[in-house]
Structure 1
Amino acid sequence: MLLINCDLGERGVANVIDDQLVKYIDMANIACGGHAGSKESVDYYRNLCKKNNVKITAHISYPDKENFGRKVILIEDSKLLKSFDEQFALFDGVKAIKPHGALYNELNVNQSLAKLFINWCVKNDIKELVLSPFGIVKKIAIENGIKVLGESFAERGYMLDNYGNPTLIPRGQPQAEIHDVGLAAMQYDQLKEGFLNINSKKIEFISDTICIHSDSKISLELAKELKRRNKKDDK
């Protein structure tokens, strides 16, 4: 069984889909002003998650609402860290983080950024990170005593990178997104068993949690199906 996580609060307060998703997930990554979200939406979804016994992470991003945090931006280290401080300030008592979008991907391949980020995490007493099982940042996090939840994605397509590791197909390219609940659930079943079929090859992929993007066309239906499968596994 994989914990089901979902990115919430990216469409403001009381979004009709997000409000329903909370009922079917184990962990919510709440947008906190970098790519989307605000203090009002953070407070709203923190309270809703508490009522539904859903774990919370701060979904920290490059400060780039214009591109929804999905592009690497040129920014001075000091300004980036200041933005991290401002985003994280909305999460009193929370000690878990999942980076968002381009920041998430860049941390996997950019050692200087990964070190900057982990040093900031240590300074802020971060206990847990949700990260790719294959990136540079995972190793640095563990070396600094931070627990890592390896993450996979349910409704995103995968390809192999230059090192033979699974990586997400960039958005906008063919098969980057899965719009069929059955296919996404099949991918979940593979990942639950610790592998993924990519280009007809069985690739080892060990993860602890699987993500559903709240803005996916199938997010709510998929969350219900994965929750059903997790309950079946518990029996």
Structure 2
Amino acid sequence: MKIDLNSDLGESYGPWAMGDDKAMLDLVTSANIACGGHASDPQTMFTTLRQAVERGVVIGAHPGYADREGFGRRVIPMQPAEIGRMVAAQVGALQGVAALTGTTVRYVKPHGALGNLAADDREVADAIVAAVAALPGRLAVLAISGTELELSARAADLQVFSEIFADRTYLANGRLVPRSRSGAVLHSAEEAADRLIGFLETGLMPVIDGAPIRLAAQSVCVHGDTAGAVSMAQIIRARLDAAGIDVAPFLKR
């Protein structure tokens, strides 16, 4: 059995630091690097990219709403075409900085509110997919499992990989429990690891409002911005290794 571990990284900005990218990059196999929308700046992108390259971690772009104050977790009213241009500009920026480190961006994973909107709104999903398809490098899409973004990427004949979240809880419709609700985030690393290994063995994800649901996944996200993120990632990685599960990127290095 094989699974990728990814994390949202490069989310600092200027002197403001978010998370411990170095430690997370020692644990994950794919890195979703912020590219100037909800977080990051050219220097942060460069530093995170270089650290990822040093560790052989596969690099993805993590575009989001230009809302640093809200960390990209608030929907900004935009037409789908505007969203497509925003995504193209952000991913293109990361591709440019990646060239300075001698590497390339391999995939795109929308962040926060943008990712959640693309999960349900086919027009938004199509706009993001069209932008990804138009960019150089034959980029893949990393999408929340069972969403419109996943379906749109498949319809456009792009490489698409599905992800689940190790530290977020689920609803019976397959969507994440909103962060505004109690219990949306799992804080116990052992609980998260137990649930993850159970999912990998059965394909069934427990939900808070019904019977477990079937999801597919080639990647598991461990957020880098939550309290205790590194400790959780360490325990999850150790538990996967102990269970004989091969932790490897969904795209070749």
Distance 1:48 1:57, change over 3 A: same
Structure 2 length-normalised TM: 0.84
Determine the C-alpha separation between the residues in 2 that align with 1:112 and 1:129. Answer: 16
- Contact kept, 8 Å, 2:33 with 2:60, in 1: the verdict is yes
Distance in 1 of aligned mates of 2:214 and 2:144: 13
Structure-to-structure mapping, 1:134-213, within 5 angstroms = 134-161=146-173, 166-193=174-201, 194-198=203-207, 199=209, 201-213=211-223
Where structure 2 has 5 or more consecutive residues not aligned to the other structure, the ranges are: 96-103, 247-253
Name the SS of the counterpart of 1:3 in structure 2. strand
Q: Is the 8 A contact 2:58 2:106 kept in 1?
A: no
Aligned residue in 1 for 2:53: 50
Question: Hey, what does 2:116 align to over in structure 1?
Answer: 105
Comparing 143-152 and 11-20, the one that deviates more: 11-20
Of 96, 119, 127, 2:130 maps to 119
2:100 is matched with which residue? none
Query: Who is 2:7 aligned against?
Result: 6
Question: Could you say what secondary structure the match of 1:61 adopts?
Answer: coil
| Matched residue SS, 1:213 | coil
**CA–CA distance in 2 between the matches of 1:7 and 1:104?**
13
Q: How does 1:215-226 map to 2 (within 5 A)?
A: 215-226=225-236
Residue type of the partner of 1:70?
Answer: R
Q: Is the counterpart of residue 39 in structure 1 residue 50 in structure 2? A: no
What RMSD in Å do the two structures reach over aligned CA positions? Answer: 1.9
Match for residue 63 of structure 1 among 66, 72, 85: 66
Identity of aligned residues (%): 26
| One of 77, 84, 88 as aligned partner of 2:87 | 84
Which structure has more RCO (C-alpha within 8 Å, separation ≥ 6)? Answer: 2
Instruction: Give 1 or 2: higher strand fraction.
Output: 1
Question: CA–CA distance in 1 between the matches of 2:7 and 2:152?
Answer: 25
CA distance in 2 between counterparts of 1:55 and 1:182 reads: 26
**Shift in CA distance, 5/44, structure 1 to aligned 2, threshold 3 Å:** same
How far is 1:104 from its partner? 0.6
Q: Which moved more, 1:219-228 or 1:86-95?
A: 86-95
TM-score (norm 1): 0.90
**Number of residue pairs the alignment of both structures matches:** 231
